[in-house]
Amino acid sequence: MSVVPWIPSPKIVVEYLKHALGINREDVVVDLGCGDGRILLEFAKSGATTICIEIDRTLCNITEVTFNIHGLRDRVKIVCRDFFEVSLSNIEPRPTIVYAYLYSSILEALSKKFEEELSFCTIIVTLDFPIRNWSPIYVKHLIDENNHSRVVWIYVNGISNPKARLVEGRIVDVNKCVEICMEKCRRKLFMY
C-alpha cells in the first residue's frame, strides 16, 4: 500500500489543462490519486469520460457523491485501490490522458508502468514534479490563486519517455518528437 498525501490541484491548473489539452467527449482521463475528484469533475463537464484511481475510501465516496450532485455519475468510474496495483493496460476505454499530482519519487516508480501499460500517444500530465529522465513536450509555469508558482509538465507516451527517444541506438531530438506527436497522434494541443 503506497501512501501519498492528498493535496488539491489549484483551479488555475484545471482551467489551463481543459483548454490547453482541448478536453472533449473523445477523451478518457485517468487521475492517479484523484482525491475528491475535482480535476475529473471539470473534465467530465467538458464531456470526457473520467477514471478516478484513489486508495482512500473516504475520498472515493466524496468523489462519487460530488459526481452524483452534478448529475455526472455516468461520466466517472471510481477504482478505490492503490494505483500501483491497477493495470493501466486493462482500462477500457483506453486512457487518452493521465493526470498525476505526485512526488518525483512516486512518478519515477510509475514511469516504467507508464511506458509498458499506456498506449502510444497517451498524454501524461504532472503538476509541480517532473518525471525523471523523460522529456516533456511542454512545460507551463502558472501562478495559482494563493500566489504560488506551479509548473505543469506535459509528456506523450512513446515520444517523451527514454525508450521512445532511442532510435537505432541514438537519442532523437525532443523537437522532432513533438513533430511526430502532432503528426501521429492526431491531437491538436493548444499550448499557450
Burial group, residue 112, by CB count within 10 angstroms (0-12, 13-18, 19+): exposed
Determine the Cα–Cα distance for residues 19 and 22; give it in Å rounded to an integer: 5
> Residues 145-150: what's their mean pLDDT?
96
CATH of the domain at 42: 3.40.50.150
65 vs 104: CA distance, rounded Å: 31
In this structure, is residue 147 part of a structural domain?
yes
Mean pLDDT of all residues in 138-164: 91
In this prediction, residues 14-30 reach a mean pLDDT of 94
pLDDT at 171: 56
Q: For the chain, what is the domain count?
A: 1
Mean pLDDT of 24-42: 96
Is residue 125 in some structural domain?
yes
Amino acid, res. 185: C
pLDDT of residue 183: 66
Mean per-residue pLDDT of the chain: 89
Query: Domain span at residue 166?
Result: 11-184
Residue 3: inside a domain, yes or no? no
pLDDT band at residue 1 using 50, 70 and 90 as cut-offs: very low
- How do the residues of the chain divide into helix, strand and coil, expressed in percent and rounded to 5? 35, 20, 45
DSSP 44-58: HHTT-EEEEE-S-HH
Q: Identify the sign of the CA torsion 71, 64, 82, 135.
A: positive
% the chain with pLDDT above 70: 83
122 occurs within a structural domain: yes
Interval 69-108: pLDDT, tens: 999 999 999 999 999 999 999 999 999 999 999 999 999 9
Number of CB atoms found within 10 A of residue 154's CB: 20
